[in-house]
Structure 1
Amino acid sequence: MMVVLILWISALTATAFGSTLQADPSSIVYEGQARFTILSTRLIRLEWSPTKEFLDGKTWLVQSRQIQPTPPVYNVTRNDTHLRIDTNYVTLEYLRNSATTFSQHNIRVTVKVNPSKGETVVWNAIPNEEFDGNLLGTLRTLDGNRDSKLELDCRNQPRNDLHCTYGVISRRGYALVDDTHQPQLDDDPQWPWIVNKQYSPPDPSLCQAVPVNERRTCGTFNNTNQHDCELRGCCFQSPSSCFYSSQAQQDLYLFGHGRAYPQALYEFTRLAGSIPLPPRYIFGVFFSRYWAYAEYEERQIITEYIQHDVPLDVLVTDMDWHITFYKLASNDTKDQAGQTIGWSGYTFDEHLFPSHQKFLQWCKQLGLKNTLNLHPASGIQPWEEKYKEMAEAMGIDPSTKHYVPFNVTDKKFTSAWANIVLHALQQAGIDLWWLDWQQGEEGWMNDIPYTNPTFW
């Protein structure tokens, strides 16, 4: 089962963002339909737009484009054919007046991997070459992975539901992060929210103009369907090839840090936002088992930990804390959301927990933290304790018994879900949430490219 721990829903509003979103104007270089931003002497933003319109707002990834106190030192030269930008570590060369998006024919970036030895490496938009030597990123979950070797190289990972990503450090000497058409955030200072923005598929002639061996991957590598590919504004070729057209918008971040891995990670946090330090108890001892424990059984388990002088910091209660309808589920009965009935839930099963408030407070007196399992995909079903309040908050007549659909990209729904449902359980004594696998991968995202419920 997937383990994603959410430390209070209010943490969504408290993300540490960079202090200055816009790059310093003195660090920006324009050339034709391209824009280059020298964020540091090792980190360069590369943009191309057929309309010369560029993105300055927040994205899912980027929270600040001033990552150091003073603008980096660099030098710009131009001749009849090329623009050249030099820093102490990176040299960028671009074909002036180029009429097509970045490709091996118009851009070249040379990175000093080991300046003292003169070792360099070149990126020039050859498809997928930037992934060779990458020290890899992460996956959405380990759920369903039965392979003896977990594949983290996204080119070889067959499952598209894992949302495989690469990292920002590489043995090759550089890493490329593609932020093109990734989800954007609005400018709400209290709670920046995802913008429902979609893109039109390119003219087929612009796709045909890109030779097969020059097609740069748009988004994930495997099993991309035509609908998702075209939502990104990219070209699709059956069965699952998704690539950029000759006039594709581009928004790339080149981390040219050579072997300076700590510096690359530091600059990434300046770009993407500071990472909050988890509370100390998160690094402690958890008790968790997928079992329908009753309250008295959990009291007995905790007492045995104390009696045997074994440390315990967090008590995890799996999904049986709420109403489950196992008999109906065993007959493959579905709820209104089309999910297995009883898999989602927000109402304590009183047969197992006759007084959950007292139990949770007893745990607190012992210094324990409590977390509950959540499978949110079913939304709020009519049997839930908070159904009436949620239905009214979302404009649904409670007498219809129509469920409240789960849509975490809907700010109205998420605010109501947090304030009416989750906060009530937190006030009863829940300290954090275990966000499990079933989060509604399909349908809820309003077709916003690249979104998925776990990361959002």
Structure 2
Amino acid sequence: MTNPVADPAAIVQGDKYRITVLTDGLVRLEYADDGVFEDRASTFAVNRRLPVPGFQRHESDGLLEVVTSRLRLTYDRGPFTTSGLSLAVGGGISNYHSVWRYGQTPDDLGGTARTLDNADGAIPLGPGVVSRTGYAVIDDSGSFLFTKDGWVSADNVNRVDLYVFAYGHDFREALDAFYAVSGPQPVVPRYALGNWWSRFHEYTADSYLDLLDRFRREGLPFSVGVLDMDWHVTDVDPRYGSGWTGYTWNRELFPDPPAFLDKVHGEGLRVTLNVHPADGVRAYEDAYGKMALALGKDPAAGEPIAFDVTDRAFLTAYFEVLHRGLEDGGVDFWWLDWQSGPHSRIAGIDPLWMLNHFHFRDHGSLTFSRYAGPGSHRYPVGFSGDTVVSWASLAFQPYFTATAANIGYGWWSHDIGGHLFGVRDDELATRWVQFGCFSPVLRLHSTKNPFLHKEPWLHPGPARAVMTAFLRLRHRLVPYLHAMNHRRDPLALPMYYRAPAEDAAYEVPDQYQFGTELLVAAIVTPADRRTGLGRVKAWLPEGTWVDVLTDLVYDGGRTLLLHRDLTTIPVLATGGAIIPLDGQAVPGNDPVIPGHLELLVVAGADGDFELQEDFPVRTQLRYRQADGELVVAPAEDADGILPAARRWTVSFPALTDVDPVATVDGVDTPFDIERGDTRTSITVHDVPVTATLRIGVGARPRLRRNDVSGLVFTLLDRAQIEYRTKTKVLETATADRPLTVRLSALQALDLDDALATAIGEILLAQEI
């Protein structure tokens, strides 16, 4: 749905220029020598009919000024030039850097890139809509257009069409303006939020089903099965070309495709098939005859049907004949593995854009393909391409994933573990899975090499156990992820969205916000050999923070180094955070709405959370620190979707000294309590979804203090250093002396940096 024609009241126009004030911080600037301006939807801008913001127009001395509450545009009414067209951002962002001039490339904070194919570390990023200087620009001049009947055109030549974002440091508002013009992110299906299994491997139907059986026995949940190109015939007669493109099941491997897909569905997984469509449809394909007839060709001639995404008849047959037949057999959605560049038969029309747009429109809820430019957020999920197996690749991905939010792109799916080349490194593979657990989509994948595999049981004990734990955790996180999904915001956001004025928020590329409740600091470098700990630089905003995976407590308002062994990474929440989880320790494959929910509640401040499980099913969750009480309100619009009654477990990390009470609709109710060393969990059974559940732990509960002595001892006990050094460090770190004295004494021991910073983290986590 598009509404591309702006309100005339928002337009300031001359013979060859047009200025559209879309919002108080976003203007569209057009210049055309023929005086003809574009009102069709583009790949980026599909909705220009927005409420007209307040603005003023001034003309004097040959200059035109357009002024809103956020910007002042100055224009000499001639051809756009650096001296004749400028825009000053209000708000005192800087003395002079916050003035954009036409032709100037903004120093924005970056957006994303088309692909990470063959990337071994960082690559350049395209533009985003936020910057520290306060302005950013999207150049829509070269985008192709959508016609009223839903087709496309690339006839917008010799025109300038710019969108200037002037939101200062109001990054959230800039992103909202982007979505207002370019459309919101769709809500992806719930199943897309679980684990995806993918491998470029010549499976048979039996071997694939055996693999799913092994996953089930190992307690490893997967919600999506991705079949790479060997599902179709690849060994073809050379007269037809290569077997890279294909639409015909390989019946030597899959004798009965519908029966196979039915069994996979019976295991609780959806299925996507890989397609490389560039070579079109050749005569050996099962669907060739129907495709030829649909396009008015003689099937007996055997002439290849070229892939031409600009041919409307071909594209119709592509969906209605070629893909619909396979979908009727059980294919749930498509992996569009377009690797053939941005050019088509018509200059300006990118085949990847066309595939993404029309596949998503045809499917209605999900496709899987590379990024094609601003506006691509409307077609999730993104396939980031074939990265190199290396620490450099992993180190780039947290930054790359979060920064994509600056262009509204929230659903990157990476080849977790890397795709090709590299060396075997079990620590690297484990850290990648941990990041994958806290990324938009967790999809294990690798190239066609018998030694490149991602099954956890093929790794040694420690790595195997950790991978298994995080794959299970991913499915437990689905209630939280799906609630975020319904908000339509990027799941991963850079830290500077939280505090644009804090320099420290820009200096932690491995850290990001993960939904509204969590901060994640991915560990993307090898562990120190002597301490066995990985390390990451993090910035904690003001407040008290709890690592919900370890129950360690930190005082915020500072930058620090966080250290973790291979079993975990820092995942932090502040007071008032409420994180809903599936209550099963080992969830099933299909991440359905659970009958048992666990809520992680961080004490210390008030908090609210809307648990949206489907549309319009919502449950309001509320925690009030003064009362120490968690309230689960009656579910809204739950009939036929939620179970009649549920089990609720409420867990309080870093809270142990409590005396719980529980009521259902004001009546005391029995509960189970589990008191761990670092947290308390209360479980109430069979709570009607129409009832109000209250669980209290006493007024103004206080988080426990970290066990400094125990943490220091554990660290030193594991460290590969001299025993007498261990003793000396323990005595110094835990002495009954002021912290400043202990820190200076430790400094005098001249410890290795890795050990010194790890000890420092423990001692400085909380104020004394």
TM-score range, shorter chain: 0.7 to 0.9
**2:24 matches 1:66:** no
CA distance in 2, matches of 1:86, 1:374: 50
**2:7 matches 1:33:** no
Q: Which residue in 1 is equivalent to 2:702?
A: none
Q: Which residue in 1 is equivalent to 2:152?
A: 194
Conservation of the 8 A alpha-carbon contact between 2:143 and 2:154:
no
Q: Which residue in 2 is equivalent to 1:104?
A: 82
**2:117 matches 1:143:** yes
CA distance in 1, matches of 2:320, 2:192: 24
SS at match of 2:213: helix
**2:269 matches 1:368:** yes
Q: CA deviation at 1:409?
A: 2.3
Conservation of the 8 A alpha-carbon contact between 1:41 and 1:88:
yes
Q: CA deviation at 1:266?
A: 1.0
Q: Which residue in 1 is equivalent to 2:341?
A: 441
SS at match of 2:315: helix
Pair member with larger Rg: 2
Q: CA deviation at 1:45?
A: 0.6
Q: CA deviation at 1:389?
A: 0.6
CA distance in 1, matches of 2:92, 2:156: 42
Letter in 1 for 2:112: T
CA distance in 1, matches of 2:323, 2:351: 21
**2:31 matches 1:121:** no
Letter in 2 for 1:75: Q
Per-residue CA deviations over 1:123-152 (Å, capped at 9, x if unaligned) read: 112442x1x2x121222222232x332222
SS at match of 1:288: strand
CA distance in 2, matches of 1:448, 1:60: 15
Task: Pick from 53, 56, 60 the counterpart of residue 36 of structure 2.
Answer: 53
Letter in 2 for 1:80: D
Per-residue CA deviations over 1:313-366 (Å, capped at 9, x if unaligned) read: 11111111111117x6xxxx473xxxx511111110110001111111111122
Q: CA deviation at 1:196?
A: 4.5
CA distance in 2, matches of 1:389, 1:196: 30
Q: Which residue in 1 is equivalent to 2:67?
A: 86
Q: Which residue in 1 is equivalent to 2:307?
A: 406
Q: CA deviation at 1:453?
A: 2.0
CA distance in 1, matches of 2:96, 2:335: 47
Point out where structure 1 has 5 or more consecutive residues left out of the alignment: 1-16, 153-164, 200-232, 234-248
Q: 1:119 to 1:104 in 2, by over 3 A?
A: closer
Larger strand fraction of residues: 2
SS at match of 1:425: helix
CA distance in 2, matches of 1:120, 1:23: 31
Q: Which residue in 1 is equivalent to 2:144?
A: 183
SS at match of 1:48: strand
CA distance in 1, matches of 2:17, 2:204: 63
How many residue pairs match? The answer is 355
Letter in 2 for 1:398: P
Q: CA deviation at 1:62?
A: 1.1
Q: Which residue in 1 is equivalent to 2:226?
A: 316
CA distance in 2, matches of 1:51, 1:317: 51
Letter in 2 for 1:441: G
CA distance in 2, matches of 1:103, 1:354: 65
Q: CA deviation at 1:182?
A: 1.6
Task: Give the TM-score normalised by the residue count of structure 1.
Answer: 0.74
Identity rate of aligned residues, in percent?
Answer: 32
Letter in 1 for 2:257: H
Per-residue CA deviations over 1:237-293 (Å, capped at 9, x if unaligned) read: xxxxxxxxxxxx211110001111111111111101122111121121111111111
Conservation of the 8 A alpha-carbon contact between 1:391 and 1:403:
no
Task: Pick from 335, 346, 357 the counterpart of residue 258 of structure 2.
Answer: 357
Conservation of the 8 A alpha-carbon contact between 2:55 and 2:69:
yes
Conservation of the 8 A alpha-carbon contact between 2:112 and 2:127:
yes
Q: CA deviation at 1:446?
A: 2.1
Superposition pairs of residues 133-282 of structure 1, within 5 angstroms? 134-145=108-119, 147-152=120-125, 165-188=126-149, 192-197=150-155, 199=157, 233=158, 249-282=159-192
Q: Which residue in 2 is equivalent to 1:229?
A: none
Q: CA deviation at 1:43?
A: 0.4
Letter in 2 for 1:176: V
Conservation of the 8 A alpha-carbon contact between 2:143 and 2:348:
yes
Conservation of the 8 A alpha-carbon contact between 1:288 and 1:318:
yes
Task: Give the TM-score normalised by the residue count of structure 2.
Answer: 0.45
Letter in 1 for 2:190: R
Conservation of the 8 A alpha-carbon contact between 2:154 and 2:349:
no
SS at match of 1:123: strand
Q: CA deviation at 1:198?
A: 6.8
CA distance in 1, matches of 2:295, 2:315: 10
Letter in 1 for 2:114: R
**2:298 matches 1:397:** yes
CA distance in 2, matches of 1:432, 1:114: 49
Q: CA deviation at 1:312?
A: 1.2
Q: 1:276 to 1:296 in 2, by over 3 A?
A: same
Conservation of the 8 A alpha-carbon contact between 1:113 and 1:119:
no
Letter in 2 for 1:255: F
Letter in 1 for 2:260: F
Letter in 2 for 1:361: D
Conservation of the 8 A alpha-carbon contact between 1:183 and 1:449:
yes
SS at match of 2:138: strand
Conservation of the 8 A alpha-carbon contact between 2:342 and 2:350:
no
Q: Which residue in 1 is equivalent to 2:650?
A: none
Q: Which residue in 2 is equivalent to 1:244?
A: none
Letter in 2 for 1:37: T
Conservation of the 8 A alpha-carbon contact between 1:112 and 1:119:
no
Point out where structure 2 has 5 or more consecutive residues left out of the alignment: 358-768
- CA RMSD between the two structures: 2.0
Q: CA deviation at 1:432?
A: 1.2
Letter in 2 for 1:194: V
